[in-house]
Amino acid sequence: MAEAWAGYPVSTQWVSTGRVVEMSTGQALRYAVMWQLASFVLLGMQMLLVCAFGSVALIFGLTGLLVLFAKRPLAGATVFLQVLLYQNWFLAVFSRFGLDHAAFQTVQGLAFAAVVCLSAVAFIRMARPGGAGSTATILTRWICIAIVVMLAYTAYGMLKSSPGSAITYLRNSSAMLLALLVGLDLGRRWSYRTFAIIFLVSIVFGVAVDLAELVVPVEYYQAIGAIDFWNFKNALPDGTGPIMRSVDELVRARIVTWFNITGGSGDHLSIRSFGPNMHAVSYAYVVGVTAIVAMTLRRFEIVFLAIALLVMAGIKGPLLMLLATICLATLWIVTRNRLMVLLASVVLLVAYVGFGIRTGIANSDFHVIGFLGGLHGFMSTPQGHGIGVGGNLSALGVGGLDWATWQKLGVDFALESAVGVLLYQMGVAVVVVYLPIFITIFAGFKRKLQAGGGRGIMTRPTDTLFIAIAVILANGFFQEEAYSPYALGLLTLFGGIVISNLGGDEPALDRMT
């Protein structure tokens, strides 16, 4: 049964996969605040345990989250959101209290360990007879096949690189699929609208952190222990690595050329906020996804605020993703013509990739250099080099860091490009791992659009999510973070909820208004 909450009545709807519960706006707001506060307390306690007993203490928090999601799916998913959004912020706050480098690195993988736990519970529930509709069942099977293939490539990558590099890229490559599985399970019982409101409430504290970082950066960085965090993060396994010695140095480091155009020489500068993720680009993608979710709930004031934050930060990828999604979603709502939207998408993709490569080569842009390096590596070794070999965070990317030389001569491995990294690491297996899953997602979405054929095509606010997924897949050509848990991972989580809300192959019921 779907969980009730604190005695409040809930409105319900029925779809072919079961009973979907939807809270009122007020109930969802209170629920989100309650569980966010509880999550912050639990995250603080978890960090103290890690400081005292080492990374082995994470087992207590992960076990608790697993049990919570098994018993109360919405509560478990809400806590997971807080872990995903704020684990690095709490890690920064507690990094001065006795953490060693090994424990720090392990805690950085907490969100991935959490989604693994939730996806394991989701798989067990989805695998039961009648546990999911047909589209969700097909997706679950393909996700399992994909994970098996990824594990094989991870083992191969460990032999050629290092266990740490391989595990890091297993996390980046699989998180979006595990999040999709969690969304498919959660959507069998809870409405998209309820979880979307919870997400929007959850990000409010993150925006407050952003504003504090912009207005009083020195005081903010001193308060959260940002220097300790960055020195831990930048430290190499051999104990070397760049050292940041003062808050002023960190404040200066976040001021970059507007939109960070490699080779650009303009006078326009931007101030990049690291946000609660403690990573400027990842936080920018969270802001972009927040705007997309707000669009589905028709909260356009949030969309305008997100655009302003992204323009001020000057981060290309998330802003382009958001603007392209808005354009294509508007075209879809106005025309209801799938062919027109498809043609417009292809034109945008060709223009984006073509213009990006042309200008990137002229300016020695790292993103283009990295994509071409991945493409060349794929063509020379189509079976792939193994997960963890190549990429910004790999031993190749970190150990031999020489951006100036790479700009002049290029690279023979993938960097700064999610598509390039996947092709380089997994080769033709990418087709087996990802293509069937996203074809199933979009094929299921296509079936839901029909309401009698001909001109009887339904549009829903949640259609924007699937358009955004298509856009961010293209965005991955020139940005490695596009396929991270903070970007495509969040979108597949929400997409999974919508797919399960709509149910198998039955006529869709939509109460998103």
What's the residue count for the chain? 513
pLDDT tens for the chain, residues 1 to 513? 344 433 334 444 433 334 688 999 999 999 999 999 999 999 999 999 999 998 899 999 999 999 999 999 999 999 999 999 999 999 999 988 878 888 888 899 999 999 999 999 999 998 887 666 688 888 999 999 999 999 999 999 998 888 888 888 999 899 999 999 999 999 999 999 999 999 999 999 999 999 999 899 899 999 998 888 888 887 765 556 667 778 888 888 777 776 665 555 455 667 788 899 998 899 999 999 999 999 999 999 999 999 999 988 888 889 999 999 999 999 998 988 888 988 999 898 888 888 888 887 777 777 788 788 888 888 888 999 999 887 766 666 555 555 555 555 556 666 778 898 899 999 999 988 898 999 888 876 666 655 444 445 567 888 999 999 999 999 888 888 889 999 999 999 999 999 988 774 433 333 332
Q: Which pLDDT score is estimated for 291? A: 97
Contacts of 73 (CB under 8 A, 6+ apart): 3, 185, 186, 189, 190
Q: How buried is 290 (Cβ within 10 angstroms: 0-12 exposed, 13-18 middle, 19+ buried)? A: buried
Name the pTM for this structure: 0.89
Q: Which pLDDT score is estimated for 429? A: 93
Q: Tell me, what DSSP letter sits at residue 258?
A: G
Give the whole-angstrom CA distance, residue 406 versus residue 396: 12
Q: Which pLDDT score is estimated for 399? A: 54
Dihedral of the alpha carbons of 257, 262, 264, 265, in degrees to the nearest 10: 60
Are the C-beta atoms of 160 and 385 separated by less than 8 Å? yes
